[in-house]
Structure 1
């Protein structure tokens, strides 16, 4: 049997190295994919250095994304997006992939900006859950909250709650999402009720 200290050291090493290795694998795969697509276009001469091919492809793709994003903020963009949604939602099977990937992208890229301060909601006696204010209210004065599932934050529940049924906490949206994504194992600051936090001088 290995000493317990060795096991802890091995586990600590894995905690550091596994994310690094996983990131390296993803970066390597993306690099190879971009290189393969760029070379298949036959736009670049064969003697072009591979890093230059990837760099130019990334710049072109970035400019394309910016152009599409600018178009989507116009009336024409709204019509195009609505048309795409209608088309994919009529395709059995593909609509699930389309809607799931769209929701995941919206959550990852702009979700933390749209979600406001996290709150603690007591669903049952003694059981608290993390939810997020959306900034929306109903006609009868209830606040609209988003209650994500763990570890998949792209799914969850939109609930309408009276303001006195939840508690504000001194925690950033990023910290709260990290805890939910890690199924409670992620490190984050200890949350305390917002009314108990002393203002900074």
Structure 2
């Protein structure tokens, strides 16, 4: 009787179970709503592993301070306007055609402009936003500016030199008894000697 009562109790408790895999209360699959496990958070932080990227080769450890002392390109204008240039002389080193090639100049593969003849460099305006460089031969001597400092200094030294010569000449005439005589101030001076008194003139006095 006891065994029969236990079997009856077990059968009654298993009445709500089914072997259908699609059922949500399947005992075999463990998908029962009453038996589903729940996530219980803990107080310790989650451990994250660093991201590693594997490559086919291993890069060597090099210094990060190398390669900072490269040679300068030395670009820019080498011969300015109204300055003489010889054949083959570099006028401008540039990247791109900031200055275009004009008359009597050549341009290299690296856009370097150089002179083809012996002459003076001229920077000219070509259109609204272009500049060109030309070299013109020297046909006549360059006229100096009369108001320049060099010309004024030269004139000052010339005036001092003439004044010194006149002073020395006057001293020489005073010592030798000669007199400077000139009818016109613009004409050259003429040397004249003072005549000596004769005995008759002395007797008359």
TM range (shorter): under 0.3
TM-score (norm 2): 0.21
When Rg is computed on C-alpha atoms for both structures, the one with the higher figure is 2
Which structure carries more relative contact order (alpha carbon 8 Å, separation 6+)?
1
TM-score (norm 1): 0.21
